[in-house]
Chains A and B, each alone.
Chain A
Amino acid sequence: MEIPYTVKPRPDTGLYNAKLGIWLFLASEVMLFGGLFSSYILLRVGADLWPHGMLSIPIGTFNTFVLIASSVTVVMAWANLKLGNPGKFKFYMAITILCALGFLSVKSYEYYVKFTHYDVWFKDDATAEKYFKAAYGEKGPEEVRELFVDRFHLHNTNAKYDPAQIQLVGHIAGNPLCTNLKKLLAAKQETIKFTADPPKGSHEHPHEIEVKLSDVQRLSAYVPAHSTFFAIYFTITALHGLHVLGGALVLAYFLFTVDKWWKKAPEQFTNRIEVGGLFWHFVDLVWIFLFPIIYLL
């Protein structure tokens, strides 16, 4: 028993099975990411305020370049296989996998930075003002307001001082990962040492202040629970990251077994690379939309 058209295309459709299979799979992936993008649009359009510039654009741009490069190399690997050149295939495929690893490492670093960066909301205006002044000096409330205006792109409005929205941004001493008020209180902590972010247009961090947890209304790292923006950012990029990881594993398998396969079934192997490549391009394609939508807009 032999399943037909695993290697050669079926004459009337012009396709071999796996190629049709991967395109069907990609169609469902389009709907999956489409559903997530729709959610993003709806949540964003419906939100009162949407933060901007929360993510590092240089890092995002770098990762975009990395993924594009990997897309080029994977198609080069396939083309060289078609030319009957497994040596060059190995070269290009190795670069592809390095790119994937690079992408994932950079992404992990980005996540780490977010997980250790905190927003603190205070219980009332007076308390908040006290801490703003402690952090930035007498001009504290104004500095914080400017950061707030900048984050939510409220430049041409007369955004008011809103304690529900204006918060102190920065790092907790010791760089704890993903902690929150509940966890800190559960650990019987009463105060934290906090370094606020530099004021707008400067790069110098203000000096460390001490924040009493009893004054704090809410405290959150940049994690999904922080806000809808971070929730959707982490969900989509993590799902995309899983796709990168899965794709890289499959491509790595091809790279390590090329000699065996090339001897046994060169045509089938070339098809497999094409199919694997199609998936890889799709992952790149998602990122092409993801990058401007989440980082830039």
Chain B
Amino acid sequence: MQATTQTHSQEAHSHEHHHDPGFLRSYVFSSDHKVIGIQYGFTALAFLFFGFLLMMCMRWQIAKPGLPVPIVGPLLEHLLGDVAKGGVMSPDLYNAFGAMHGTIMVFLAVVPLAFAAFGNYVVPLQIGAVDMAFPRINMASYQCFAAGGVVMFVSFFIPGGAAAGGWTSYSPLATIIPTQGQTFWLIGMVLLITSSLLGAVNFIATVIQLRAPGMTWMRMPFFVWAQFVTAFILLLAFPPLEAAGILQLVDKVFGSSFFLPTGLIVSGKPLDVSGGGSPLLWQHLFWFLGHPEVYVLILPAMGVISEIIACNTRKPLWGYKSLVYSVLAVGFISFIVWAHHMYLTGMGTKISTFFQTTTMIISIPSVIILTCLFMSLWGGSIRFNTPMLFALAFLPMFGIGGLTGLPLGFNFSDLHLHDSYYVIAHFHYVVAPGTIFALFAGVYFWYPKMTGRYMNETLGKIHFWLSLAGMNLVFMPMFFQGLYGMSRRMSDGGATYALANPANEGIVTALTNTVIHLNVFITHAALLLLVAQIPFIINVFMSMFNGKPVESDNPWQATTLDWQTPTPPPHGNFTKEIVVYRGPYEYSVPGASSDFIPQNQPDAKPAK
């Protein structure tokens, strides 16, 4: 943690960098973007695993309704009491786990990992900045996030348990559940939103203000562009949800009825509220964030993938400019597509046609991005290391996720597919083997920069192949279940529904035994997916101490500035003045002495 040789102003600032700041300041209350990035990373990975375990409990309940959850059943009963009597998940607990699985995975795992962790660590390095523009706000952002995480986590243990109204928290359901789980959820969300807001302001200001000399807009790595657009989405789409959260909180705590209509009857009794509210208002405000949020999940992933693909094919990204314009277009249009989640709320034909049209339009730039990434592979001399394997798998997996979204964007086909397992399969293909694969790729890719050691390749490849198999075996069957009409959010996996149609084989409207039996198959596949993560967990911790040390500061021979620093980068990042002379992906330039030219390498005098 030495001060760098960069210029100091003559004036004595109150900041002191010359002595060791001590453990707390270095690792807990650090304002260094790299430490904050790693804090985000570990917290988010922990929540990712926790959210995954919630899902495992749910999957058990779907496959074997009414049987005690193996291994963790007694623990659930011990911790949560009657909702898990005898180790069996009650429908209430299933609902709570379902709502929290979604919330945790989106807001506490994937977004913090994709945007905050990688963004914090890599963006300042890639643009040649010494830190984020507002380091202390950056720290506050992480602390808000941690507080939000704690509130969400604690809500499992309060009387009545966590929020159970689904991750979308539709009112009136979310408001009229008498327990306080939803209140905790809302307070947690307000904290998380504040955290992303502070983060977003910081990212945008950093990218605009702190680019190194010569780092023009069109010389920024695509990863930085993706993060930049993501930050804008977070900045402008989150506040309406914060507004909605505040309104629902007032509904919940002060008994108002923003989202409660007149004449609402609950359990046979009219609800004692003033009424006059609008449940649809919540849905509009929620999806105004909810849809752009999808791009918050996917754009950083695309950024990670593009860095890895460029480096491991040893050739420039195909169509850098179209990538940049597409990502800008995606960010922009993502704000006006939200109501395609609401076709079934009784929308009129005109407005649903509008949203259907914008939804189809936004698929164009998304496809351009994916196509450019595919094209980038053509003619490359590909290195099949672990990060690249994950990156390569991302492409078709995200492709499946994206293309299966089109039928949901058309209102006529959405009528059939809405709220079925098809929807679950679709967005999990985007997020799980899509985004999460990209994030794994990113971990394997930047790990040597963060620690100075490679992750183990063998374990990495086991992790990859098992995960790839697991993901597809879990989510592919769900498409079929959904097409057969299996609804989501059924705590018994549709068993009751199937029993209610006794002669169900052959009847089109009933769930056939085959469809129901797929539940068991999927649960086994999910178990495989769980097992697949063990090598990764071992790898992350083991490689820190006895991974293969890197041979140089730039082990992948990459061009971008994040690799032109010491390993790991010190406080202040760069030991030399950084000036950028070229674009981000100058690989295999004809006539060059090596197959990559770092961005900060000045033009040599022409050889001939």
Contact = CB atoms under 8 A, between A and B. Distances in A.
* Any A–B CB pair closer than 8 Å: yes
Nearest to B238: A28
B281 A43 contact: yes
Contact of B200 (A24, A36, A38, A231): A24
B442 interface: no
B11 A31 contact: no
B209 A10 contact: yes
A224 B578 CA distance: 57
20 contacts: A1-B4, A1-B571, A13-B208, A15-B208, A17-B210, A20-B209, A24-B235, A25-B201, A28-B197, A31-B236, A31-B239, A32-B239, A32-B240, A35-B240, A39-B244, A43-B281, A227-B276, A228-B277, A231-B250, A231-B258
Nearest to B277: A228
A115 to B, nearest CB: 12
A17 B8 contact: no
Given A3-B130, A235-B246, A17 B6 contact: no
A10 B9 CA distance: 16
A218 B272 CA distance: 9
Interface residues of A, number: 47
B261 to A, nearest CB: 9
Give the interface centre of A3, A47, A48 by most chain B CB atoms within 10 Å: A3
Interface string A20-60: 11001101110111111011001100111000000000000
Interface of A: 1-5, 10, 13, 15-18, 20-21, 24-25, 27-29, 31-36, 38-39, 42-43, 46-48, 182, 218, 220, 223-228, 230-232, 234-235, 239, 265
Contacts of A182: 272
Interface residues of B, number: 55
Interface in B194-234: 197, 200-202, 204-205, 208-210
A32 B235 CA distance: 10
Contact of A1 (B209, B251, B572): B572
Interface of B: 3-4, 6-9, 11, 13, 17, 129-131, 133-135, 137, 197, 200-202, 204-205, 208-210, 235-244, 246-247, 250-251, 254-258, 272-274, 276-278, 281, 285, 288, 571-572
Contacts of A24: 200-201, 204-205, 235
Given A10-B209, A25-B201, A265-B11, A46 B243 contact: no
Nearest to A7: B9
Contacts of B277: 43, 228
Contacts of B278: 42-43, 46
Contacts of B251: 231
Contacts of B131: 1, 3
A140 B274 CA distance: 25
B247 A228 contact: no
Given A1-B131, A43-B278, A31 B240 contact: yes
Contacts of A36: 243, 246-247
A182 B255 CA distance: 13
A5 B210 contact: yes
A224 B205 contact: no
Nearest to A49: B276
Contacts of A13: 208-209
A46 B260 CA distance: 13
A178 to B, nearest CB: 9
Give the interface centre of B3, B137, B239, B244 by most chain A CB atoms within 10 Å: B239
7 shortest interchain CB distances as A-B pairs: A1-B572, A35-B243, A231-B256, A35-B240, A32-B239, A225-B255, A224-B256
Given A1-B571, A2-B8, A31-B240, A231 B257 contact: yes
A47 B281 contact: no
A48 B275 CA distance: 11
B233 to A, nearest CB: 11
A1 B565 CA distance: 15
Contacts of A46: 276, 278
Given A36-B243, A224-B250, A3 B208 contact: no
